[in-house]
Structure 1
Amino acid sequence: MADPLVAQAGAVEFDEPSAPPKPPIPDAPPRPFGKLYAIGDIHLSFKGNREALQELAPKPNDGLILVGDVGESSEHLTIAFSKAKECFQTVFWTPGNHELYSLRAEEQAEGGSLKGEEKYLHSIEVARAFGVITPEDPYQFWWCEGKNGEAVPYLIAPIFTLYDYSFRPDHVKLEDAVAWAREENIEATDEYMLHPDPYPTREAWCEVLVNRTAARLTETVAHYGLGVKVVLAGHWPLRQDLVNLRLIPRFSIWCGTKQTEDWHRHFNAEVVVSGHLHIRRTDWRDDVRFEECSLGYPRQWKECQDKGMGINDFLREILPGPTYEGVDKAATIWRRFG
């Protein structure tokens, strides 16, 4: 089979917050405010991508979001986090499916063959050892200058949601989803290497993650008020209509969950950042900017390398972001070259 990269869960109940009150928004740091960039799917299991990462340029006043698929092992995470922290003031990370893969002990000396949630929590420990902010840490504010020169805080929320096979046609039942993809010779490696332990299925784990994240975001927005501007950053796209896989459309079942379809509205998102698709693009939904900012496997950006481009050309500016004045926000900006 080729690896190209619970029935549909009901709408999430957005309960009233029950956690202890959060602190007020902190004071703005000294100006000038730094920029916030993002990149995903750097796949450090490939030598060419590891070499490319070493060319990452220092931006000591700026921040970086790594939106998953850094690699499969603790070694890959260590390489990524050490280099990112060397170059950026603040680094955020959220896992992709590759970080969750269970490897043989000889392939990963530290972490070994951990499965499911244990593998995820082990990756969290590696990130925290480098001071990298994860989905399990308090959300952080990032400050930018507004149109009138005022200081504007944005709440950066790394999220981990997984998928539940609900990105499929209505006529395909959940229990038939993987077989439906196999009909076109498509099957994700996840089916063999991404274990849901201790949950019975990946969709059950997804349900837990979605409900937990929704409750946390609900509580956070309720605390800071509807005026708070949020950046949602996760590996999987939040909306099915942003999964445009022309050559492998049935891979969509491994690309997210319909439970997050309206999160950009529910949680006051200014920008939503994702990876996973290896198809770089910028879209708008309800005047919210969606950024797919993956690098991809070496063969997928070789044409860019042939033009003299490197990893720094693929860093997507999230904040403050381009103005996009005069841009047709009903259309997609395809980012073939970064």
Structure 2
Amino acid sequence: MSFGSSSGGGLDPDALIFAGKYDEALQALNRSSGSDDLRLAGKRCYCLTQIGRHDEAIGMLQKHLSSRRGWSAGWIAKAKVHFDLGQYAQALDCLTDDGTKNLKKGSSRAIMEEARDLRACIGQVRDSGATEHIRGNVQYKAEEFERATKHYLRAVEELPSMEDRSLGEQERERLGALHSNLSACYFKLGHAEVSKSKEMWFLALKHALKCVKLRPGWSKGYTRRDDAIRVLDVSKVDVSAIEESLHKTLRVSETKAGVEEDNKVSGDNAFKRGDFSSAVNFYTKALQSNQVHHPKAKLHSNRSACYAKLGKWVPALEDGQKALQESPRWHKAWMRVACAMEGLGNVLDAYCVYSKALGSCAEGKAELQRSMAALLPLIPVRDTHVSLDCRGSRCLERFQMDANFPRDRTRVFCISDVHIDQHGNIAWFKKLSDENFTNDVVIIAGDVGDTMNALRICLKEFKKRFRRVFFTPGNHDLWIRRDTSDGKMYPDSIAKMGAMHNVCQELGVDMGPAEVAQGIFVVPLFSWYNHTFDERDPTPGGLRYDSFCQWPPSLGGHLEVWKYFLLMNRERVGRDYKGGYKGPGTPYVFSMSHFLPRAELPYPMGVQEMAKAVGCKELDVQIQRIKSDVHVFGHTHMDMDTTMPGTDTRYVQSALDGGGGLYKLYEGHHLTGTRVDTNGFPI
């Protein structure tokens, strides 16, 4: 390539292209003779592309290619223009090499290699992300800042402009993030291209200011702005003038929004002075206006907060959900929904909302974590799934619904460790009678499946056959394996347990206590193991069992989980089930847990540190407090029906995965102890 003077007295176009002076290079090329010269046409195309005149470049190339279809370099040039526009399909179509279309057989080896490399590059970029925004992120991480800039600019073009009054909160957030990314790219390019440093840094400042305007509460926009000001000579940069130029196009729309501004500000002032009813009215007027200036998410969020202060939890939830729809990555919207759910008594659901918010929101994580930690001790006493005493308790409703069912028509069965997703155990249900258990009760002492989907399938199969189904979770039920859908759905095992309650409610399965017939009580107990169960060495072991379980930090680590599970039982073990019964016959209490309540119960002795991960002796204190006649447990897959010195309680395990099956505990006014087949007949 020559960098001397051209015959016309000006600089050689190649030298101008090398210097990045594409406008001047294009003028020089246009002055050159030979408008049909394909070599010059290729250079003109390159210059037009660099200065953003893509349509002219494509038109010029198409004109040449219509008469010279075998011009392989022209097809490559056209592919590059389409690639620069993000038109990946058109770009690849230009590079077909089947011998009948664009790249003819006989093209030089260099041309074919260039086409092959370009095809690979286009395919790689196209497949690097589903959107231009994601593709830009990929290029940014690869430090291809110029290419990332093009992706981000195309993503900006796909969204409404800043001054568009219909711009939603979600679009505002996305647009702000894109301008932040563009600012970062131009900042990097300013360091890479010294000759264009000032130009690049001014662009970085411009996009940073747009980000600040779109997302005034986002710290990253201010960081981008300050970075650009720092590298520019701030004494020579009138930042306020740049801001004035940037924002003047928005002033007309802001002026038109004066009424909404007044209503929003009036609502804020009413909220501050505690006049929540008036605040609701002001926010409602702002939302009902034909042209809403303030983000709808913020107005719905503020009105939700007012309803919460007034104790109107249903409209508070509705407004919180609307705020979340408008701005799904805004942590305040998630918090409004969670607050309303807590007010309605759905404390576990509120915990799950906070958990999901942590995975969705880039900001407010500390506030979300504090809110989650504050909810944990409230779940046992205020959640309608768990507490019998809270107002409007679903648990209490389920407790009373069958209190008058005839006890002589009721049988009680138990089973544990179904593990429906292992060892072909699901086939057992094909043998289980659909007709012989319609008046009966089954107690399932945990470990029905490793995933929520398996749990749902298993409990649904039982519910199709039994009148009442009781379930308490085991360790496998609380696993969150990252290679399953649970890993994407539940950030921790408490959140998964909350989802279990919702699944059980949907299916009509019980996780709380109930009087299932006259004087027949079933009391599920939550349980987890602790190392003091190992009487030979009551110290923490070196092994971590159930590492698939994830626990919130506020519980104090996996060694403290057992304390929280006992706390979950506090209200249900505080009731006098037998003393409150005044009906016919002797009352019986059937309690259930997954883990062993007594160290005397057998467990596999040959497994290292197994004793530290099978039981909780403190659980038996709760069992004795409710005067349980039969306690059903699982986990060890070692079937038994036994009593222990100093107590009248029978301890029963019948694990399907251990070779057992259904075990009958009660029939015809009396306690029994009989293994039965899948039709309910004694074995």
Residue identity in the other structure for 1:153 = G
Give the match for residue 663 of structure 2: 316
- Report if aligned partners of 1:99, 1:123 keep a CA contact under 8 Å in 2: no
Count of equivalent residues: 273
- Report if aligned partners of 2:573, 2:622 keep a CA contact under 8 Å in 1: no
Secondary structure of residue in 1 paired with 2:498 = helix
Secondary structure of residue in 2 paired with 1:57 = coil
Once the two structures are superposed, the pairs formed by residues 110-149 of structure 1 within 5 Å of their partners are 112-134=489-511, 137=512, 139-143=513-517
Give the deviation of 1:319 after TM superposition. Answer: 1.7
Deviations, residues 91-149 of structure 1 (Å, cap 9, x unaligned): 11110000110122x52269634312111111221121101001xx3x21133xxxxxx
Give the match for residue 202 of structure 1: 558
Once the two structures are superposed, the pairs formed by residues 149-168 of structure 1 within 5 Å of their partners are 153-168=519-534
Once the two structures are superposed, the pairs formed by residues 26-175 of structure 1 within 5 Å of their partners are 28-30=404-406, 32-46=408-422, 48-58=424-434, 59-104=437-482, 106-108=483-485, 112-134=489-511, 137=512, 139-143=513-517, 153-173=519-539
Secondary structure of residue in 1 paired with 2:500 = helix
Q: Distance in 2 between matches of 1:294 and 1:241?
A: 19
Q: Distance in 2 between matches of 1:32 and 1:172?
A: 46
Secondary structure of residue in 2 paired with 1:155 = strand
Residue identity in the other structure for 1:250 = E
Kindly tell me: are residues 272 and 250 of structure 1, through their superposed partners in 2, closer, same or farther at Cα, counting changes over 3 Å?
same
Once the two structures are superposed, the pairs formed by residues 291-330 of structure 1 within 5 Å of their partners are 291-296=652-657, 300-301=658-659, 314-320=661-667, 323=672
Give the deviation of 1:197 after TM superposition. Answer: 1.7
Deviations, residues 275-331 of structure 1 (Å, cap 9, x unaligned): 1010011111222211012122xxx53xxxxxxxxxxx710112236657xxxxxxx
Residue identity in the other structure for 2:602 = V
Secondary structure of residue in 2 paired with 1:242 = coil
Structure 2 residue runs without a partner (length 5+) = 1-387, 674-681
Kindly tell me: are residues 250 and 204 of structure 1, through their superposed partners in 2, closer, same or farther at Cα, counting changes over 3 Å?
closer
Kindly tell me: are residues 20 and 220 of structure 1, through their superposed partners in 2, closer, same or farther at Cα, counting changes over 3 Å?
farther
Q: Distance in 1 between matches of 2:548 and 2:510?
A: 26
Q: Distance in 2 between matches of 1:111 and 1:230?
A: 39
Q: Distance in 2 between matches of 1:82 and 1:281?
A: 27
Kindly tell me: are residues 224 and 45 of structure 1, through their superposed partners in 2, closer, same or farther at Cα, counting changes over 3 Å?
same
Once the two structures are superposed, the pairs formed by residues 205-216 of structure 1 within 5 Å of their partners are 205-216=561-572
Give the deviation of 1:201 after TM superposition. Answer: 1.6
- Report if aligned partners of 1:94, 1:233 keep a CA contact under 8 Å in 2: yes
Kindly tell me: are residues 252 and 55 of structure 1, through their superposed partners in 2, closer, same or farther at Cα, counting changes over 3 Å?
same
Give the deviation of 1:228 after TM superposition. Answer: 5.3
TM-score of the superposition, structure 2-length normalised? 0.37
Kindly tell me: are residues 36 and 251 of structure 1, through their superposed partners in 2, closer, same or farther at Cα, counting changes over 3 Å?
same
Secondary structure of residue in 1 paired with 2:440 = strand
Deviates more, 1:64-73 or 1:20-29: 20-29
Q: 1:263 aligns with which of 622, 626, 633?
A: 622
Q: Distance in 2 between matches of 1:101 and 1:153?
A: 36
Deviations, residues 6-51 of structure 1 (Å, cap 9, x unaligned): xxxxxxxxxxxx9579899775324642211111101122151112
- Report if aligned partners of 1:100, 1:120 keep a CA contact under 8 Å in 2: yes
Give the deviation of 1:78 after TM superposition. Answer: 1.7
Once the two structures are superposed, the pairs formed by residues 208-247 of structure 1 within 5 Å of their partners are 208-221=564-577, 224=580, 229-247=588-606
Structure 1 residue runs without a partner (length 5+) = 1-17, 144-151, 302-312, 325-336
Q: Distance in 1 between matches of 2:656 and 2:590?
A: 20
Secondary structure of residue in 1 paired with 2:421 = coil
- Report if aligned partners of 2:413, 2:442 keep a CA contact under 8 Å in 1: yes
Q: Distance in 2 between matches of 1:155 and 1:124?
A: 20
Residue identity in the other structure for 1:216 = R
The one of the two structures with greater contact order (alpha-carbon pairs below 8 A, sep at least 6) is: 1
Secondary structure of residue in 2 paired with 1:224 = coil
TM-score of the superposition, structure 1-length normalised? 0.71
Kindly tell me: are residues 110 and 83 of structure 1, through their superposed partners in 2, closer, same or farther at Cα, counting changes over 3 Å?
farther
Q: 2:651 aligns with which of 280, 287, 290?
A: 290
Q: Distance in 2 between matches of 1:166 and 1:53?
A: 38
Q: Distance in 1 between matches of 2:514 and 2:488?
A: 28
Q: Distance in 2 between matches of 1:93 and 1:128?
A: 12
Residue identity in the other structure for 1:207 = K
Q: Distance in 2 between matches of 1:204 and 1:124?
A: 22
| Aligned residues with identical type, % of pairs | 20
Deviations, residues 51-71 of structure 1 (Å, cap 9, x unaligned): 222322121111111110000
Secondary structure of residue in 2 paired with 1:287 = coil
Q: Distance in 1 between matches of 2:641 and 2:629?
A: 13
Q: Distance in 2 between matches of 1:110 and 1:84?
A: 26
Alpha-carbon RMSD across the aligned residues, in angstroms, is 3.2
Would you say 1:274 and 2:633 are equivalent positions?
A: yes
Q: When you count helix as a share of all residues, which structure comes out higher?
A: 2
- Report if aligned partners of 1:243, 1:255 keep a CA contact under 8 Å in 2: no
Residue identity in the other structure for 2:664 = E
Kindly tell me: are residues 224 and 32 of structure 1, through their superposed partners in 2, closer, same or farther at Cα, counting changes over 3 Å?
closer
Secondary structure of residue in 2 paired with 1:283 = strand
- Report if aligned partners of 1:163, 1:202 keep a CA contact under 8 Å in 2: no
Give the deviation of 1:222 after TM superposition. Answer: 9.0
